[in-house]
């Protein structure tokens, strides 16, 4: 398989990542907010135990797709940045942090239905739910670092249309605004975090499509430059 095809397959990894993340989010249904009562949270986990466990598995598969996509993102960013890859390293570190926190949060939540809700009191279930949710939401900080660094490079080096970079900076800001949900049960932070999460997924899809469309052209530029 030639480099152009590898680049295109790598770009499609971003779309697969978003699909798997969407499945992970949809499987358990609409989750209660961390500020909801212990009884409501316990009922949600009791009613959706199997879905929560399967969501942890699909979330793990999403990480594989993400890392596949990151290979192409790294190559695109290194090609555009050249020299010392400050933004490239920042973006990669942010993405890895986001993947780690999302995975830990999902596994932590799945522990409750695996063991059985009958072994916990409602207050204990609420504790684990808030803990796992806050760990998972910390993903937004890593996503903000990834999107922010990638977007700055797009704006500076035009590796993709600059408008995508400016939109990415907005996405990064949304992620930071929603980040305080890790230390608060206020609904406003919950909704801000949700908006940042959706914006991040949409941005990844757009970037992946553009990377797929431009992969062959970029390889030709590299060959000519060599």
- Residue 189 is predicted with a pLDDT of 84
- Residue 219 is predicted with a pLDDT of 47
Q: What CA–CA distance (Å, rounded) separates 226 from 218?
A: 12
- Residue 226 is predicted with a pLDDT of 40
What is the distance, to the nearest Å, from the Cα of residue 12 to the centroid of all Cα atoms in its chain?
A: 15
Please identify every stretch of the chain with a pLDDT value under 70, giving residue numbers as ranges.
1-4, 216-226
Q: What CA–CA distance (Å, rounded) separates 33 from 48?
A: 15
Q: What CA–CA distance (Å, rounded) separates 209 from 214?
A: 9
**Would you give the DSSP letter of residue 181?**
G
Q: What CA–CA distance (Å, rounded) separates 117 from 106?
A: 16
Distant-in-sequence, close-in-space partners of 17: CB < 8 Å, separation ≥ 6:
62, 65, 66, 69, 204
- Residue 216 is predicted with a pLDDT of 60
Q: What CA–CA distance (Å, rounded) separates 144 from 179?
A: 10
- Exposure pattern of 162-191 as b/e (b: 16+ CB <10 Å)? eebbebbbebbebbbbbbebbeeeeeebbe
**Would you give the DSSP letter of residue 33?**
P
């Amino acid at each position: 398989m030639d480099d152009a095809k590898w680049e295109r397959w790598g770009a499609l990894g971003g779309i697969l990542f978003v699909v798997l993340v969407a499945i992970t989010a949809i499987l358990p249904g609409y989750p209660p907010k961390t500020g909801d009562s212990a009884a409501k949270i316990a009922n949600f986990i009791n009613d959706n135990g199997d879905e929560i466990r399967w969501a942890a598995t699909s979330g793990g598969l999403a990480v594989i797709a993400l890392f596949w996509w990151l290979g192409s993102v790294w190559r695109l960013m290194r090609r555009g940045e050249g020299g010392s890859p400050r933004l490239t390293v920042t973006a990669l570190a942010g993405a890895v942090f986001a993947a780690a926190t999302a995975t830990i949060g999902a596994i932590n939540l799945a522990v409750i239905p695996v063991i059985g809700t009958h072994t916990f009191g409602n207050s204990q279930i609420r504790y684990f739910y808030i803990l796992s949710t806050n760990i998972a939401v910390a993903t937004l900080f890593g996503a903000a670092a990834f999107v922010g660094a990638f977007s700055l490079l797009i704006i500076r080096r035009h590796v993709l249309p600059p408008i995508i970079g400016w939109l990415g900076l907005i996405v990064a800001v949304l992620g930071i605004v929603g980040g305080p949900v890790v230390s608060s049960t206020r609904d406003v932070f919950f909704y801000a975090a949700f908006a940042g999460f959706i914006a991040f997924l949409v941005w990844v899809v757009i970037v992946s499509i553009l990377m797929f469309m431009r992969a062959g052209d970029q390889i030709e530029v590299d060959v000519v430059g060599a």
